[in-house]
Amino acid sequence: MGSGMIDKEETNVGAHALLVARGGKVILQQRDLSPGIVNPGLISMFGGTLKHSDDLNKGLKRELLEELELNTDNYPTKKLGVFYKTQDIDGVNWTVNVFIVDNVEPADVKVHEGRGYICDFPEELLKSDKLTRITRLALEKYILSK
């Protein structure tokens, strides 16, 4: 879709997840360089924009099923927090709800979007200059919440 536009079915509210493996490593998405995608080449959380018919849990479940064939019903899931993209910083005004999905093993993840995934400890992931702004904020909050 590109340039901050959303289609008629989608809202400006997102549901994203930090996937946490046993042992504490976090699994994040390595975005590809396709033209017109959001955050090309960066590292982000899995998830996406809610449709008008979604509540937060339904939207998160739909996005993770589409992107990873991962059913959140099979994993402990809790809300980490709410983060805000702003027009001034990000070019859009969006509300991003971030969830922790625990006990996800890399072998459970079948990536259908992006170049693949990155799996490492949160402190190591924060050393990357390729993290999206909201992913960085979510990782920082996750570390503080442990």
Segment 43-82, tens digit of pLDDT: 999 999 999 989 999 999 999 999 999 999 999 999 999 9
* Pairing of the two strands 26-30 and 43-44: antiparallel
**Amino acid identity at 65:** L
Residue range 11-29: mean pLDDT, rounded: 95
- The residue with greater pLDDT, 3 or 116, is 116
For the cut 60, the answer to whether the pLDDT of residue 4 exceeds it is: no
E strands present in 33-131? 43-44, 46-51, 77-85, 94-102, 116-120
CA pair distance 119, 73, nearest whole angstrom? 22
For the cut 50, the answer to whether the pLDDT of residue 1 exceeds it is: no
Q: Are the CB atoms for 94 and 12 separated by under 8 Å? A: yes
CA pair distance 114, 51, nearest whole angstrom? 21
Name the fold adopted by 10-145.
Answer: Nucleoside Triphosphate Pyrophosphohydrolase (3.90.79)
CA pair distance 27, 45, nearest whole angstrom? 8
Tens digits of residue pLDDT in 109-143: 999 877 889 999 999 999 999 999 999 999 999 99
